[in-house]
Amino acid sequence: MNLYEMTGATAVLYDMLLNDEIDEQIFNDTVEGMGAIEKVEGYCQIISEMNGDSAKLKTEIDRLTAKKKHIDNRVTWLKTQLLNFYNANGGEKIKAGTFTVSARKSEYVDIPDASLIPKKYLKVKTEPDKTAIKDALKHGLKVKGAAISTRESVQIK
């Protein structure tokens, strides 16, 4: 389905939802002008269209992320080549047009095997195990600070 297959009112709603500054009154008036079945179908069409848009955007994000990684790797490679050239030429500052190339030393901690690090040097991230908590609550146990809540969501088939 695409925008051209939506009814006029549904297409207007779709456009409003994509607009960052949605006028709620106009949106509500447009929805009110639709019949109940047309309203439900319109909402389903919009949700379907937006899910498709979201999937397309995810694909584009993945493509751009891969491209960014490739560019970042090329920058790293070029900097390595530049450092090698710098060192091969005696490690003196190099003026090249509007750029000046030099090097500096810095320290960092290299950890090839984190399992060998003593516990006192480890950061431990703790977070609630929601699966275990839910299981305990369902079996009648009390877990301080937790409760099972019910959430309702719509399913479209």
Q: How far apart are CA 120 and CA 94, in angstroms?
A: 45
- Express each pLDDT in 27-86 by its tens digit: 777 777 777 677 778 788 889 989 999 999 999 999 999 999 999 999 999 999 999 999
Place of tokens 């379907």: 48
Per-residue tokens: 24: 């709620």
Helix, strand, coil percent values for the chain (each to nearest 5)? 60, 5, 40
pTM of the model: 0.61
| Residue 82 contacts residue 65 (beta carbons within 8 Å) | no
